[in-house]
Amino acid sequence: MSGVLAVLTAGLLAFHGAVPNSVGRLGSLLEVFLPWLGLVVVVLLVLALARRSAVALLALLLPVAVWTYLFGGLMLPAEAESGSRDLVVVQHNVSDENADPAGTARALADAGPDLIALQELVPPALAEYERSLAGSHPHHVVQGTVGLWSKHPLTGVRAVDIKPQGIEEDWNRAVRTVVETPYGDVAVYVAHLPSVRVGASGLASAWRDESAALLGKALTAEERETVVLLGDLNGTVDDRGLAPLTSRMNTAERGFAFSFPASFPVARIDQVMARSATVGHIRALPATGSDHLPVIARITPDRPGPDRGGAPAG
């Protein structure tokens, strides 16, 4: 029995894309928790050792190999900093119920990032974030409930329409701007995709998926070569619902950085992605007053030199 379960676990890991989404979006639901299938392997290992079953132990090599192929690289230690061209970014859904926005802002600024992307910005907390971050990050833009604070000047600010059909109220959850870094301009998108719900009928993610498709189109149309996406995307990088984004952008090469829920993180739904750049090690920061943990990552553009306009630098 243990051997059969081992083969089944390996199959789910290797062919999770074959699990259909037509009923309850079961495929996406599996992919949200895909790394946790490693715990199944641990349980099966204990059972195999208890039974002293050589066949079961041999069968376990299959899911171990697949899990290691998929997620082993994320467990490697962070690489050495590659130099002054690195861009350090923090992504955080601060929660519209955060009772200590000033303390949250200080904690994020103390991490020393170049950029801080925030979601669920609501008055009067927004004014507190603006006051608290003004000294360390003097440039900022806010669109609806999302915003970006930067150590470097911002230009080319515009709203990005990712509102799904069926949402009637004012709903502004994405902004695009250009960060004028010392080593070149970078187009930065900050977004907050609709929430998903898990219930008896499965995963309810239609609005999230529609919003992700709209954001993917905006990223495709972006003329600047180097692009960074920061946001609460309400999905993991393995979730096929985010394929319009993950198919176009690089994701973190190292680190799990589970960010939600803050009390017992089981998934990273706060994401850092990039185009024409490498997202290095990503890690979670200590808890703030939010139900999400902040995540921090280092981004290295693929090419040195300035990137002005849509044309490649010479």
Structure-token pair, residue 220:
């495709």
pLDDT grade, residue 313 (50/70/90)? Answer: very low
The per-residue DSSP string of 90-106 comes to EEEE--TT-S-HHHHHH
Place of tokens 């050589």: 54
Model pLDDT, residue 83: 58
DSSP 1: -
Model pLDDT, residue 105: 98
pLDDT digits over 9-39, tens only?
Answer: 999 999 999 999 888 899 999 999 999 999 9
Q: Nearest to residue 135, comparing CAs of 157, 105, 155, 156? A: 105
Per-residue pLDDT at 7 exceeds 50: yes
Per-residue pLDDT at 59 exceeds 60: yes
The residue with greater pLDDT, 128 or 57, is 128
Q: Tell me what the mean pLDDT of segment 72-78 comes to.
A: 87
pLDDT digits over 257-295, tens only?
Answer: 999 999 999 999 999 999 999 999 999 999 999 999 999
Per-residue pLDDT at 221 exceeds 90: yes
Q: Is 270 helix (H, G, I), strand (E, B) or coil?
A: strand
pLDDT grade, residue 314 (50/70/90)? Answer: very low
Contact 88, 38 (CB under 8 A): no
Instruction: Taking the CA atoms of 229, 233, 238 and 240 in sequence, report the sign of the dihedral they define.
Output: negative
pLDDT digits over 168-207, tens only?
Answer: 888 999 999 999 998 899 999 999 999 998 877 788 899 9
The pLDDT mean for the chain works out to 92
154: phi then psi, degrees, rounded to nearest 5: -120, 140
Per-residue pLDDT at 55 exceeds 50: yes
Model pLDDT, residue 206: 93
Model pLDDT, residue 84: 63
Model pLDDT, residue 24: 86
